[in-house]
Structure 1
Amino acid sequence: MSSTLLEVTRASHEEVERLERIIVKDLQNEPPSNKDRLYQSHRVRNMIEQITSTNKKLIEIYEDKDSARKDEIAALGGQTATGTNVFSAFYDRLKEIREYHRRHPAARVVDANDEYEQLLKEEPQIEFSGEEAVGRYLDLHELYNDYINSKFGEQIEYSAYLDVFSQPERISRKLKLTRQYQEYLQKLLEYLIYFFERTEPLQDLGRIFSKVITEFEEQWTNGMVEGWEHESQENGNIPAEHYAIDLDYYSTVEELMEVGPERLKEAVPFNSVQRGFFLQRIHLLRSWTENILPKALAGPQQNGNAVTLQPSADAKEIALIEAKVKRLCDLLQETIIRTKENVEKKQALTYEEMEAEREEEEVQAESESDDEEQQIYNPLKLPMGWDGKPIPYWLYKLHGLGQEFKCEICGNHSYWGRRAYERHFKEWRHQHGMRCLGIPNTKNFNEITSIEEAKHLWERIQERQGLNKWRPDLEEEYEDKEGNIYNKKTYTDLQRQGLI
Structure 2
Amino acid sequence: MAATLLEQTRAAHEECERLERIIVKDFDQDVKGHREKLAQGQRVRRRLDELQALSTKLERIYADEDGARKEEIALLKGLDEHGFSAFYERMKEVREYHRRYPYLEVAEAPNEDEALKEVVEMSFSGDEVGGRYLDVHEHFHQYVNAKFGKQLDYLEYLTSFWEVSDISRQHRLSESYRDYLKGLLGYLESFYNRTQPLASLSKVYAKLADFEDKFEAGEVPGWSDKGALNVDGLSNGIDMTAFATVEEVEALGPEAIKESLAGLGLKTGGTLRQRAERLFLTRDTPLAELDRRHFVKGAAPAALLSPEERARQHAAALEVALLEAKVRVWSEVYSSVIEDTKGYVEKKQASTYEELVAEQEQKAEEDAAALDSDEEDEFVYNPLKLPMGWDGKPIPYWLYKLHGLNQQFTCEICGGAEYWGRRAFERHFKEWRHQNGMRALGIPNNKNFFEVTQISDARELWTSIQERELGGFKADVEEEFEDKEGNVYDRRTYEDLKRQGIL
Per the normalisation by structure 2, the TM-score is 0.58
Question: How far does the alpha carbon of each residue in 1:36-88 deviate from its partner, in whole angstroms, 9 at most, with x for none?
Answer: 22222222121111112112222222222332222221221223433x23xx6
Question: Is 2:41 aligned against 1:33?
Answer: no
- Match for residue 79 of structure 2? 79
Equivalent residue for 2:266?
A: 267
Contact 2:182 2:323 in 1 (8 A): yes
Partner of 2:225: helix, strand, or coil? Answer: coil
CA 1:225–1:272 in 2, change beyond 3 Å: closer, same or farther?
same
Deviation, 1:34, is 2.0
Return the offset for 1:6.
0.9
Change (3 A) 1:235 1:325: closer
Partners of 2:322 and 2:200 in 1: CA distance: 19
Match of 1:386 in 2: none
- 8 Å contact from structure 2 (residues 133, 340) kept in 1: yes
Partner of 1:240: 234
Contact in 2 for aligned 1:268/1:275 (Cα 8 Å): no
What's the CA shift string for 1:154-192, capped at 9, x where partnerless? 333212221111323354545433444333222211221
**C-alpha RMSD over aligned residues:** 4.2
One of 151, 154, 163 as aligned partner of 1:155: 151
1:166 aligns to 2:165 (yes or no) = no
8 A Cα contact 1:12 1:58, kept in partner: yes
Task: Give the superposition deviation at 1:124.
Answer: 2.9
The aligned residue for residue 98 of structure 2 is 101
Query: How do 1:15-414 and structure 2 match up within 5 A?
Result: 15-82=15-82, 84-85=83-84, 92-114=89-111, 116-173=112-169, 175-209=171-205, 211-228=206-223, 230-232=224-226, 237=231, 240-241=234-235, 266-268=265-267, 273-274=274-275, 295-297=292-294, 312-313=313-314, 314-369=316-371
Shift of 1:371: 5.3
Paired with 1:309 and 1:355, the residues of 2 have a C-alpha distance of: 61
Asked if 2 retains the 8 angstrom alpha-carbon contact of 1:23 and 1:44, the reply is yes
- Distance of 1:150 and 1:89 partners within structure 2: 72
Cα pair 2:5 2:69 within 8 Å, conserved: yes
Secondary structure of the structure 2 residue equivalent to 1:3: coil
C-alpha spacing 1:54/1:298, structure 2 compared with 1 (3 Å): closer
Separation in 2, partners of 1:214, 1:337: 28
Closer, same or farther in 2 for the Cα pair 1:396/1:22, shift >3 Å? farther
CA contact (8 A) 2:215 2:226 kept: yes
What secondary structure is seen at the aligned counterpart in 2 of 1:325?
Answer: helix
Q: Is the 8 A contact 1:174 1:242 kept in 2?
A: no
CA distance in 1: counterparts of 2:11 and 2:180, whole angstroms: 49
Q: Distance in 1 between matches of 2:92 and 2:175?
A: 73
The Cα shift of 1:142 comes to 1.9
Q: Partners in 2 of 1:315 and 1:239 — Cα distance?
A: 23
Code of the aligned partner of 2:222: G
Show CA shifts across 1:434-488 (max 9, x none): xxxxxxxxxxxxxxxxxxxxxxxxxxxxxxxxxxxxxxxxxxxxxxxxxxxxxxx
Letter in 1 for 2:341: T
- Provide the residue aligned with 2:8 in structure 1: 8
Is the alpha carbon distance of 1:117 and 1:370 closer, same or farther for their aligned partners in structure 2, counting shifts above 3 Å? farther
Q: Is the 8 A contact 1:221 1:233 kept in 2?
A: no
Tell whether the 8 Å contact from 1:147 to 1:153 is kept in structure 2 after alignment.
yes
Would you say the 8 A contact 1:132–1:139 is kept in 2?
yes
SS in 1 for 2:151: coil
Q: Equivalent residue of 2:210, what SS? A: helix
Q: Which runs of 4+ in 1 moved over 6 A?
A: 275-278, 307-311, 392-398
Tell me the amino acid that sits aligned with residue 241 of structure 1. S
CA distance 1:150–1:79, change in 2 (3 Å): closer
Are the structure 2 counterparts of residues 269 and 353 from structure 1 closer, same or farther at C-alpha, using a change threshold of 3 Å? closer
Identity %: 39
**Structure 2 SS opposite 1:110:** coil
The separation in 1 between residues aligned to 2:86 and 2:61, in whole angstroms, is: 23
Unaligned 5+ runs, structure 1: 244-262, 279-292, 300-306, 381-391, 401-500
- CA 1:78–1:163: 2 relative to 1, 3 Å: same
Asked if the contact 2:227–2:317 (Cα under 8 Å) also holds between the matched residues in 1, the reply is no
Give per-residue Cα distances to partners, 1:198-234, cap 9 Å, x unaligned.
222222224533x254232233233222232x32387
Compute the displacement of 1:358 (Å): 1.0
Q: CA deviation at 1:323?
A: 0.6
Task: Give the CA deviation at 1:394.
Answer: 8.0
Report the count of equivalent residues: 342
Mapped contact 1:131–1:137 kept (Cα < 8 A): yes
Closer, same or farther: CA 298–8 of 1 in aligned 2, 3 Å: closer
Q: Is residue 152–residue 175 contact of structure 1 (8 Å, CA) maintained in 2?
A: yes
Equivalent pair of 2:169/2:263 in contact (CA under 8 Å): no
Counterpart Cα distance in 2 of 1:265 and 1:393: 61
Per-residue Cα deviation, 1:10-31 (whole angstroms, up to 9, x for no partner): 1111111111121122123243
State whether residues 76 and 89 of structure 1, in contact with CA within 8 Å, keep that contact through their aligned partners in structure 2. Answer: yes
- Give, in whole Å, the separation in 2 of the partners of 1:44 and 1:162: 32
Aligned CA distance change for structure 1 residues 92 and 316 (closer, same or farther; 3 Å): closer
In the TM superposition, what is the alpha-carbon distance from 1:111 to its structure 2 partner? 3.2
Quickly say closer, same or farther: Cα 1:172–1:106, change in 2 above 3 A: same
CA distance in 2, matches of 1:92, 1:308: 77
Cα-to-partner distance string for 1:349-404 (whole Å, 9 max, x where unaligned): 101110110121022112204756957xxxx9xxxxxxxxxxx8789999x9xxxx
Query: What SS does the corresponding residue of 2:198 show, helix, strand or coil?
Result: coil
Equivalent AA in structure 2 for residue 109 of structure 1 = V
Equivalents in 1 of 2:369, 2:222: separation in Å?
A: 50
How far the C-alpha of 1:126 sits from its partner, in A, is: 2.8
Q: Which amino acid aligns with 2:275?
A: Q
